[in-house]
């Protein structure tokens, strides 16, 4: 089984898009994601090339209504396609 590690913000956004989230707008280095049917808003920082730390990533995954395993499956499915 895969383990959550530090991820670049752009990759996190790609994975959330696969689960139905869309980028509503960008404020500085923060991308604001929304999803139809929910009032939850995800704020994903994209600090250049720096990766997002695991604690923040876990919080984003929880707020998105996903389990860590679901997020990882979406992420690694994407890598296999390349």
Please give the C-alpha separations between residue 81 and each of 3, 40, 58, 74, 78, in angstroms, as whole numbers: 20, 29, 24, 11, 5
pLDDT digits (tens, 9 = 90+) for 6-42: 989 999 999 999 999 999 999 999 999 999 999 999 9
What is the value of pTM for the model shown? 0.86
- What domains sit in the chain, N to C, each tagged with a CATH number? 7-81 (3.30.920.30)
Instruction: Identify the pLDDT of residue 77.
Output: 72
Better-predicted residue by pLDDT, 32 or 4 = 32
Residue 75: strand, helix, or coil:
helix
């Amino acid at each position: 089984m895969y383990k959550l590690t530090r991820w670049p913000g752009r990759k996190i956004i790609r994975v959330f898009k696969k689960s139905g989230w869309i980028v509503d707008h960008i404020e500085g280095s923060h991308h604001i994601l929304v999803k139809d049917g929910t009032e939850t808003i995800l704020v994903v920082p994209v600090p250049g090339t720096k990766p997002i730390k695991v604690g923040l990533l876990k919080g984003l995954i929880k707020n998105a209504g996903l389990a860590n395993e679901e997020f990882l499956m979406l992420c690694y499915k994407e890598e296999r396609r390349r």
